[in-house]
């Protein structure tokens, strides 16, 4: 499962994610992290069977968890296969096929929204 972990100012200096991993034995696969002295935003994959225990361990430490279960949608009628989305997606949701068509693997989407701004045809949107 893809999740976003939001860590707020007063606890960002504490090793809370490490504590939750050790406590629950969860194999967390981090795909993106933005952390500074004021806040942290981490996108990661967590095994489905571990999600409940891991999220409870984090929430009990004051962390917000968002499940990323609404990946990018593409309007096939609007897409002109220009490839602009291929280069900007940080997790390679879009790839070129052998015939230079643009393939979509929405299961990898971390809902960052970058491709939506870059698409010249307004073909992309996140489910509300
Ligand atoms: S940027 Fe938009 S139009 Fe271009 S390939 Fe991606 S979805 Fe299609
Ligand atoms: S919102 Fe777009 S750029 Fe961001 S991860 Fe999803 S497909 Fe990639």
**pLDDT tens per residue, range 56-86:** 999 999 999 999 999 999 999 999 999 999 9
Give the pLDDT score at 9.
74
Residue 80 Cβ inside 6 Å of ligand 1? The answer reads: yes
Per-residue pLDDT of the chain (128 residues; tens, 9 = 90+): 999 999 887 777 788 899 999 999 999 999 889 888 888 899 999 999 999 999 999 999 999 999 999 999 999 999 999 999 999 999 999 999 999 999 999 988 999 999 999 999 999 999 87
Domain end call among 48, 67, 86: 67
The rounded Å distance from CA 122 to ligand 2 centre is 14
Pair 97, 55 in one domain: no
Q: Report, in angstroms and rounded to the nearest whole number, the Rg of the chain calculated over CA atoms.
A: 17
Spatial separation of the C-alpha atoms in residues 80 and 120, rounded to whole Å? 9
Q: Any idea what the CATH number is for the domain that residue 60 is in?
A: 3.30.70.240
In this structure, the answer to whether residues 62 and 76 fall within a common structural domain is: no
Q: Range of 15's domain?
A: 2-67
Residues 16 and 58 in one domain: yes
- C-alpha separations of 101 from 45, 47, 76, 96, 97 in Å: 28, 32, 12, 6, 5
Residue where the block lists tokens 């230079």: 100
Q: Are residues 8 and 57 in the same domain?
A: yes
Residue 49: the pLDDT is 96
In the chain the beta strands, taken as DSSP E runs, fall at 2-7, 29-35, 40-45, 64-67, 72-74, 94-96, 102-104, 124-126
Say yes or no: 108 and 80 in one domain.
yes
If asked whether residues 25 and 78 sit together in one domain, one would say: no
Distance 110 CA to ligand 2 centre (A): 6
Q: What does the pLDDT read at residue 65?
A: 95
pTM of the model: 0.79
29-35 and 102-104 beta bridge pairing: unpaired
Q: Which residues pair with 103 in a beta bridge?
A: 95
Substitution candidate for ligand 2 out of 83, 91, 95, 118 with most atoms within 8 A of CB: 91
Ligand nearest to the CA of 114: 2
The total domain count for the chain is 2
User: Would you state the pLDDT for residue 80?
Assistant: 96
């Amino acid at each position: 499962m893809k999740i976003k972990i939001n860590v707020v100012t007063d606890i960002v200096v504490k090793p809370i994610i490490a504590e939750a991993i050790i406590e629950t034995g969860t194999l967390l696969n981090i795909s993106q992290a933005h952390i500074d002295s004021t806040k942290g935003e981490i996108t990661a994959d967590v095994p489905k069977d571990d999600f409940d225990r891991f999220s409870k361990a984090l929430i009990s430490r004051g962390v917000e968890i968002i499940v990323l279960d609404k990946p990018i949608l593409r309007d096939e009628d609007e897409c002109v296969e220009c490839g602009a989305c291929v280069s900007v997606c940080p997790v390679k949701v879009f790839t070129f096929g052998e015939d230079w068509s643009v393939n979509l693997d929405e299961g990898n989407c971390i809902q960052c929204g970058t491709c939506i701004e870059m698409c010249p045809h307004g073909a992309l949107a996140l489910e509300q």
